[in-house]
Amino acid sequence: MNRTFSQRRDRLLIYRAMREGKLTSSRRSRCSACGEESPSLEWDRNLQVCPKCGFHAPIGAYYRLANILDPGSFQELEEKLSPADPLHFPDYPAKLAGLEEKTGLRDAAVAALGRIEGRKAVFAVLDSQFLMGSMGTAVGEKVTRAAEYAARKKLPLVIFSASGGARMQEGIFSLMQMAKTAAAIQRFQRGGGLYISCFTHPTTGGVTASFASLGDIMLAEPGALIGFAGPRVIEQTIKEQLPEGFQRAEYLLDHGSLDRIVPRKEWRAVLSQLMALHEGGKRS
């Protein structure tokens, strides 16, 4: 456990150094979207957005939080929450242990208390490095507890989603997390809480069909794939090719599903503005 903690701390320190431009390297990285190479340093300065084409590469939960929160304001919530194996699914515990070793994450979600330009909020961030950010009982429970904590403390709730959907290995228990998280969000919102939902690439399935689609404000990163069914399943079903840009954030904006698309560098400013705009209401 101590080792995991120090891994996380080290990573946060590295990210901070990156942000402040103190790390230098001659390494280059190739963009998985446009195929062009750029110096890794430029990727770092650009918060892992391709300097050539603007592709927003998936990033880890701690990295995202390190880039959004006021320095020193990060306090992890429910960090001891660990996954369960309710179906006794073959090889699942070994898979979970391997992923914890590899990623330093206990499961696919991180919850935290933090500040943006001085304004306190509760954050939950899904991490696609851990089984595609899929939602099993631990992710459902963490999102639920984050909503409950925000309700108790009367704080805004900000959730960044990135998920392949329900986690197959936890079967029906994963499905029930959709009902549980949607119910917790509903309760939080009826109590007057502000919930800002932020879609990142990719978010599909049971996460899209539960808490991620219930935001008072709905935002997404540029180019993020957002949907209920995945594009391959749809193409197999309807047996025709999907239009250009189908299920991308820009497409959803055009179809009325989002309030705004937010480039990665603008999250702090946009979230801060929204929190400030909700401070004058009679229920705040």
Partner 1 sequence: MSRLSPAEKVKIARHPERPGTADFIDALFTDFFEQRGDRLYGEDGSILGGIARFHGQPVTVIGHRKGKNLEENLRCNFGMPSPEGYRKAQRLMRQAEKFGRPIITFVDTPGAYPGREAEERGQGEAIAQCLALMSALEVPVISVITGEGGSGGALALAVANRVLMLEHAVYSVLSPEGFASILWKASSRADEACGVMRLTAQDLRRGGIVQGVLREPEGGAHTDWQATFRTVDAALVKELAGLEKMKGSALAKQRYEMFRAMGQSLPPAREEEP
Kindly indicate which of the ranges 14-22, 39-47, 72-80, 267-275 contains the residues binding partner 1, using the contact rule CB under 8 A. 72-80
89 touches partner 1 by CB under 8 A: yes
Whose Cβ is closer to partner 1: residue 212's or residue 271's? 212
Assess contact for 11 and 102: CB atoms under 8 A. Answer: no
Q: Which bin fits 21, alpha (ψ -120 to 50), beta or left (φ > 0)? A: left
144 touches partner 1 by CB under 8 A: yes
Assess contact for 263 and 49: CB atoms under 8 A. Answer: yes
Kindly indicate which of the ranges 13-21, 45-53, 58-66, 181-189 contains the residues binding partner 1, using the contact rule CB under 8 A. 181-189
Name residue, tokens 């750029």: 38
Quick one: which of 56, 64, 180, 201 contacts partner 1 (CB under 8 A)? 180
Whose Cβ is closer to partner 1: residue 78's or residue 127's? 78
185 touches partner 1 by CB under 8 A: yes
Kindly indicate which of the ranges 48-56, 58-66, 184-192, 274-282 contains the residues binding partner 1, using the contact rule CB under 8 A. 184-192
Assess contact for 207 and 126: CB atoms under 8 A. Answer: yes
Quick one: which of 65, 210, 261, 262 contacts partner 1 (CB under 8 A)? 210
Whose Cβ is closer to partner 1: residue 103's or residue 177's? 177
187 touches partner 1 by CB under 8 A: yes
* Sequence-ordered list of residues with C-beta below 8 angstroms from that of 167, at least 6 positions apart, any chain: 131, 134, 135, 136, 139, 174
Q: How far is the CB of 39 from partner 1 (least distance, A)?
A: 36
Structure tokens at 140: 């459902």
Separation of alpha carbons 229 and 242, rounded Å: 13
Within the chain, residue ranges assigned H as helices are: 2-19, 40-45, 61-68, 92-103, 137-153, 171-190, 205-208, 231-238, 249-254, 267-277
Cα-based torsion angle of the residue sequence 280, 115, 165, 171 in order, rounded to the nearest 10 degrees: -110
- What number of helices (H) and strands (E) belong to the chain? 10, 9
Which DSSP symbol is given to 154?
A: T
Quick one: which of 156, 193, 202, 227 contacts partner 1 (CB under 8 A)? 227
Assess contact for 79 and 108: CB atoms under 8 A. Answer: no
163 touches partner 1 by CB under 8 A: no
44 touches partner 1 by CB under 8 A: no
130 touches partner 1 by CB under 8 A: no
178 touches partner 1 by CB under 8 A: yes
Kindly indicate which of the ranges 27-35, 48-56, 212-220, 260-268 contains the residues binding partner 1, using the contact rule CB under 8 A. 212-220
Residues that bind partner 1 (CB under 8 A): 75, 77-84, 86-87, 89-90, 113, 136-138, 140-141, 144-145, 149, 166, 168-180, 182-187, 190, 205-206, 208-214, 226-229, 233-234, 237-238, 240, 242-243, 246-247, 255-257
